[in-house]
Structure 1
Amino acid sequence: MAQAVLVAVCWLTVLAVSPYRHVPAKVHDIALFVHLGSMVIGFGAVLTVDWFGLLWLAGRRTLADVLSTARGTHVPIWAGFAGLLASGALLGMPAGPKALAVLVIGINGVYAAVLLRELGRHPRPPTFLLVRAGLATTISQAAWWTALVLGYLNSRGR
């Protein structure tokens, strides 16, 4: 619960300071580069985990492989998310739906970490845990893609 509160506080901080940030063009360009790099790092790591999950569903990997991959990508996912928040504070106020998608990414990421620990406790996880993991994965993908698309459209002035 403390991690979810921390995510929400960080998110609220970005929303609170971003409207008041008027940065020089060079700083904006650097923040944009960091933002894009953070997206690559965080979302790329998420896609890696989800790819291993699909391989498991296809019978080409074990669940242990998926869980190991998820544990190994934990730091890049959160580093990417933190980089997105930090750089986003310098890029200006995000559009409402994009800001909400970012919050969902963070809160769902905390939930996914809890599920990862629970899944790791069972040699053969119960169906209800696998269903919860599938829902968390679906929410994650929807939120990351929503933030990506809305960020792109916002950068294009639409």
Structure 2
Amino acid sequence: MVVETGRHRRPASPMGRAVLVAACWLTVLAVSPYRQVSPRVHDIALLVHLGSMVIGFGAVLTVDWFGLLWLAGRRTLTDVLNTARGTHVPIWAGFAGLLASGALLGLPAGPKALAVLVIGVNGVYAAVLLRELTRHPEPPTSLLLRSGIATLISQAGWWTALILGYLNSRG
């Protein structure tokens, strides 16, 4: 392997990232029905799952809150974009934690599993939109509209996963 100094690694394409998200999601679906864990491991996995939800969804809510403040004229678009860039790692860490711990919690209900896939793929798309928004001092309306739709899809996915996860845990 040759390492060139002064060159940066090129990030994976959005399609490559979406395929990676889908592959991880499929792995959880394939592995989770066959995992027999002790009650203690299950409890730890549940704690990690809930913590990951707090981290990931909490970061998403932070970005969306700043977006609402921007719409109300109380923040600049730059504030929203900086917040989105700053929460990128916690969002994806939370998502990864949800997948990893979910593999130990058993097969999720179909709609919840689908909501998780939508969250991940939409997150890849949201990252593309973030890069596009950053390039425009005055983003075109179509780009803002696409960002708004991605935000609504994100909220619907996270809330669906949260509510269905709660209902599933209740029996």
Please give the TM-score of this superposition, normalised by the length of structure 2.
0.92
Report what 2:19 is aligned to: 5
**Which residue of 103, 111, 126 corresponds with 2:140?**
126
C-alpha distance in structure 1 between counterparts of 2:36 and 2:146, whole Å: 42
Alpha-carbon offset, residue 96 of structure 1: 0.0
Partner of 2:72: 58
Q: Does 1:17 align with 2:31?
A: yes
Alignment map for 1:8-157 (pairs within 5 Å): 8-157=22-171
Give the number of aligned pairs: 157
Q: Tell me the CA shift for residue 41 of structure 1.
A: 0.0
Counterpart amino acid of residue 60 in structure 1:
R
Higher helix proportion, which one?
A: 1
* Structure 1 residue 93 displacement after superposition: 0.2
Normalised by the length of structure 1, the TM-score is 0.99
Q: Which runs of 5+ in 1 are unaligned?
A: none
Alpha-carbon distance between aligned partners in 1 of 2:19 and 2:79, rounded to the nearest angstrom: 30
User: How far did residue 66 of structure 1 move?
Assistant: 0.1
The root-mean-square deviation of aligned C-alpha atoms, in Å, is: 0.2
Deviation >6 Å, runs of 4+: none
1:24-82 CA-partner distances (Å, limit 9, x unpaired):
00000000000000000000000000000000000000000000000000000000000
For 1:92 and 1:64, the matched residues in 2 are separated by 41
Task: Note the residue ranges of structure 2 that are not aligned, 5 or more in a row.
Answer: 1-14
Give the Cα separation in 2 of the matches to 1:7 and 1:15: 12
**CA deviation after TM superposition for structure 1 residue 138, in Å:** 0.1
- Structure 1 Cα separation of the partners of residues 35 and 106 of structure 2: 7
Displacement after TM superposition at 1:135 (Å)? 0.1
